[in-house]
Amino acid sequence: MTPTVLVVGGDAQVRRTAAGIIEEAELSCVEAASAEDALAYLREHAPDIQLIFTDFELPDRLDGIDLARVAALRWPWIKAVVITGGPRLRDVPSNVIFLPKVWGAADLREQLRWVPFSLEASKRQEQGRTAA
C-alpha cells in the first residue's frame, strides 16, 4: 500500500502544485478544499493517511490548526504540515510542523521523507483498534 498525503487548501492551484510534488515522490495524494471536507474524508479513510499538508487559512469555519488538532486526537499517527505566513501559534498539537507561507518544492520534499516510516505505525494503530 502506497502512503497517502491529504492536501487541504482553498486555492486549487496550490493544491495541484503540492499534489504534483507528492506524486513525484511516489506517494498517493488526495485533495480537499476545506478542513470540513478533509475531516469527512478522514472519517472513512484515516488509516490510509500519513500526512496532512494544509494551509493555516482555510475556507469555512475551521482552520489548518483546528484540522491538525482533530487529527492528533482521533488519528495520532497522522503528521500535519501547516503553511502559515503569520507568527507561530501557541497551544499547537505535537503533530504539527510549520512551513513559511512562501514554501518551495524542497520544503515539501523534506517533510515527505517522514511519510513512509509512519505507514507501519498507522497499520499497527489500526490493528490494535480492530483487535479490541
pTM: 0.74
Range of the domain at 13: 4-131
- Mind listing the pLDDT tens digit for each residue in 95-112? 777 776 777 888 787 777
- Mind listing the pLDDT tens digit for each residue in 32-59? 999 999 999 999 999 999 999 999 999 9
- The amino acid present at 121, given as its one-letter code, is A
**Ordered alpha helix ranges (H), the chain:** 12-24, 35-45, 64-74, 105-112, 115-131
How many structural domains is the chain composed of? Answer: 1
Which residues touch 127 (CB under 8 Å, ≥6 apart)?
none
**What's 49's domain CATH number?**
3.40.50.2300
Instruction: For strands 49-55 and 79-84, give the pairing.
Output: parallel
